[in-house]
Chains A and B, each alone.
Chain A
Amino acid sequence: MPTITLQQFMFGAIALVILGSAILVATLRNIFHCLLFLALSFLGVAGVYLLLSADFLAAVQVLVYIGAITVLMMFALMMTHRVMTTDISQSLTQWWLAPLPIALGIFAVLFRVYVRHGGQALVDTKHHAVPTTGIIGQALLTRYMLPFELASILLLVAMVGAIILAKEDKSDDPA
């Protein structure tokens, strides 16, 4: 391909941000800095969602992964005694045993998709994409009504479980 489109350029830039910050997450010695780069990596993933015209998913990525999960990890770090000022180095010499099969597996799947579809775009991003929020809302309220309500129960279970695990059992005083 002689010229690259704006989209390809954007994808390249976003991929660089994701991979660069992911490498920093894995290699930096200060665990707090790792966490900040993890947030940057999440932001890059939100950018990929935008390129795929999944605007609602991109917003969810920013709100949940950066706004809630990274903050949760940050709190966990702040509660851990002296972990923030200590340099931590990788002491496990076989650390690559875990990511290697995962990376190879993802590569195998992507390669298979590439071979099967001959390098053709699977998602039409050329045309103007419609905002997805309304479509998702429609689907949630009609076709996926039961999963939608079940999600609420799932969240309830998660919340109760988190409280049971995180709260040290003192005498429970009804407020």
Chain B
Amino acid sequence: MDNYAYIALFAVIGVAFSIFVMLLSWAIRPHRPSKVKLEPYECGEIPFGNAWRQFKVGYYIFALVFVIFDVEAIFIFPWAKELLNFKAKGLGVFAFAEMMIFIAILVVGLIYAWRKGVLKWD
């Protein structure tokens, strides 16, 4: 609980500081807007159209596959934390093999996605 108090303190200071900086710059800056200044900055590209437009459907399937691998990563964290403990008890190979089976099953899914052309960007 004490450690989380530090995190909470950190979050509060972080939010307060960003609000403070924005208010400060708002208070001391000159305000002379022009058309060029108000344009969104896109790394030198000249923006076109509305940002709130319909996006490419291809993003969605990437997000779907990402959710799966995100959950896979969740399982890897506690395993990684305990792997050395298992090794100390002489069960290192066992623990390692378990995770390799887990990942191998999911690699089947990745290969399936690849073969189906999900990973291709066209």
Contact = CB atoms under 8 A, between A and B. Distances in A.
Interface of A: 6-7, 10, 50, 53, 56, 59-60, 63-64, 67-69, 71-72, 75-76, 78-82, 84-85, 125, 128-129, 133-134, 136-138, 140-141, 145, 148-149, 151-153, 155-156, 158-160, 162-163, 166-167, 170, 172-175
Counting contact residues on chain B (CB < 8 A from A), the size range is 35 or more
B117 A141 contact: no
Contact of B112 (A75, A85, A128, A160): A160
Given A63-B70, A128-B2, 5 more contacts: A134-B85, A138-B82, A159-B65, A163-B61, A166-B60
Interface in B35-94: 50, 52, 54-57, 59-61, 63-68, 70-75, 77-82, 85-86, 94
Contacts of B2: 128
A153 B105 CA distance: 6
Given A149-B101, A162-B65, A175 B115 contact: yes
A71 to B, nearest CB: 6
A141 B86 contact: yes
Given A72-B67, A133-B78, A175-B119, A152 B101 contact: yes
A163 B116 contact: yes
A137 B102 CA distance: 14
Contacts, number: 147
Nearest to A145: B98
9 contacts: A69-B67, A84-B52, A125-B1, A136-B78, A159-B65, A159-B112, A162-B68, A163-B118, A172-B117
Contacts of A175: 114-115, 117, 119-120
A62 B95 CA distance: 27
A84 B53 CA distance: 8
B63 A75 contact: yes
Given A75-B59, A136-B78, A138-B85, A155 B109 contact: yes
Contacts of B120: 175
B108 interface: yes
Contacts of B13: none
A155 B106 contact: yes
B120 to A, nearest CB: 7
Contacts of A134: 78, 81-82, 85
A133 B101 CA distance: 21
Contacts of A167: 61, 116-118
